[in-house]
Amino acid sequence: MFDNSRDLPDDLERLQTLRIWHALWLERIDRKAAELRRRQAQEERGRASRPPVPDWILELSRATGHPLAVHVGDCGMAGRRRRPVGQDEARRILATTGVPACPICRPDTSLHIAGLASPTMVALVRRPPRIGRRSQAKQLRSDHPVGDAKSLITCNDRQGRRTSTPLPTGRRR
């Protein structure tokens, strides 16, 4: 198959050049193959040393560290701050502390616990219901003793409290 001498040059100098060129390519190929073997071995060691996925996860608040929700171990909705918990502890947390179950992975169903916290995302966020700006302003204006409702500006101060201030004279809203 490769005995055909017509595809090779006739002089020794060009044959030596081809031999060096092919030797360099073989060395390059061998280096790349060794690098790939090393990388595959390293990934395999990483997979072997990776801790197993926990059965249950307790999601923690980023600000306070308090529990936010209980999740099944492979739930994608769990936040970054989490702590693995055992089955008994997950049951105890769901039943006694009032921490809600994730509405996506439903650990309460997997743990055979029924009728606990409502599985809504609002329960996970734990924010008070928002009132529209206009209704908040109307409420503040009606409670404010100074001036009529149209002459007040309502806004938040630095501590997050709602405040009302009179508009400058000559300008009505």
End-to-end CA distance of the chain, in Å?
94
Question: Quick check: 130 pLDDT over 80?
Answer: no
Indicate if 115 and 66 belong to the same structural domain.
yes
Indicate if 97 and 78 belong to the same structural domain. Answer: yes
Q: Are residues 115 and 86 in the same domain?
A: yes
> Is 5 domain-assigned?
no
Same domain, 34 and 94: no
- For strand 152-156 and strand 67-72, is the pairing parallel, antiparallel, or unpaired? unpaired
Q: Is residue 31 part of a domain?
A: yes
User: Which residue did the predictor score with more confidence, 63 or 3?
Assistant: 63
- Cβ-in-10-Å burial (0-12, 13-18, 19+) of 69 comes to buried
CA distance 99 to 80: 17
* Same domain assignment for residues 68 and 21: no
**pTM check: above 0.75:** no
Q: Domain containing 159: what range?
A: 133-166
4 falls within a domain = no
Same domain, yes or no: 120 and 155: no
How confident is residue 8, by pLDDT bands cut at 50, 70 and 90? confident
Residue 58 CA to residue 85 CA, distance in Å, equals: 7
Calpha distance 60→71 (Å, rounded): 11
> Which of 31-35, 117-121, 157-161 is predicted least confidently?
117-121
> Which of 36-50, 88-102, 120-134 shows the highest mean pLDDT?
36-50
Does the residue 172 lie in any domain? Answer: no
Note whether residue 2 is domain-resident: no
**Residue with token string 């179950």:** 101
